[in-house]
Amino acid sequence: MTLNQVLSELRAAETAAGRPAGSVRLVAVSKGQSLEAIEEKVLLHAAELPSPVMLAENRGQELRDKVREAQTRSWPPVEWHFIGPLQRNKIKYLQQVSLIHTLEASWQVQAIAQAAEGWGRAPAALLQLHNGEEQKHGVAPEELKPLYHEAVEAGLDVRGLMVMAPYGDPDAARRVFAETARHAADLGLGELSMGMSDDFIQAVHEGATLVRIGRRLFL
């Protein structure tokens, strides 16, 4: 699909959910895509998006390489997000990241806070909530509050929650999104990164502020 088509779907979902136009922002998931594909599918149409354009990657080295290469091109302003599992020896690649969506452990809070001192800046972060099904990643609901407080004490700017819904079951996805929104409200956090190509409509209905779209945009 083109960016325009994806954006019209997003606007339609906002309207159907009774939410103001533009209350949900598109994060273009560029993992596995070449810079040329990013230019053709996203940046060529950057006028349709708020600036800076948000691009998300899930692997440290790929992110670092793309950031470097992008700096040699005349791109409109972009900001990079990280949506992959955080690994200790790869945090060093995240220096240019604006928002980490996948904070899920105490050691990660400490490692990012420490790296941020060296960088002279700290990325903002979201805590990834476990989705209740068999899943490797995410914080258990009862661990959210302690981890949130630890992150804030470590100086991190925690803005909200991220979740990945179970695949292939829209009703289950919607329940997980609703639950995630409730936890964010409990913590007083406003940012909700939820919804991907197959379930972003449900996510918009449940209050997503960021949807992470890959395949629908690039395939």
Q: Which two tokens stand for residue 150?
A: 């630890």
Q: Are 78 and 97 in contact (CB under 8 A)?
A: no
Nearer CB in complex with ligand PLP: 53/213 = 213
Interface positions with ligand PLP (CB under 6 A) = 29, 31, 58, 83, 164, 196-198, 212-216
Task: Report the interhelical angle of 106-119 vs 141-153 (nearest 10°).
Answer: 20
Query: Closer CB to ligand PLP, residue 58 or residue 108?
Result: 58
Rounded to a whole number of angstroms, the minimum distance from the CB of residue 138 to ligand PLP is: 11
User: Which residue minimizes CB distance to ligand PLP?
Assistant: 214
Considering the complex, state which of residue 123 and residue 214 has its C-beta at the smaller distance from ligand PLP: 214
84: left (phi over 0), alpha (psi -120 to 50) or beta: beta
Eight-state DSSP code of residue 132: S
**Nearer Cβ to ligand PLP (35/154):** 35
Looking at the chain, the number of H-run helices and the number of E-run strands are 8, 8
**Nearer Cβ to ligand PLP (70/173):** 173
Total residues found in the chain within this entry: 219
CB of 140 to ligand PLP, least distance (A): 18
**CA nearest neighbour of 187 among 139, 143, 135, 148:** 148
- The least CB distance from residue 45 to ligand PLP, in Å, is 17
**Minimum distance between the CB of residue 202 and ligand PLP, rounded to whole angstroms?**
13
Q: Kindly state the smallest distance separating residue 111's Cβ from ligand PLP, in Å.
A: 20
Nearest to 101 by CA among 207, 193, 197: 193
Q: Least separation, in Å, of the C-beta of 31 and ligand PLP?
A: 6
- What is the distance between the alpha carbons of residues 68 and 60, in angstroms, rounded to a whole number? 12
Nearest CB to ligand PLP, comparing residues 7 and 154: 7
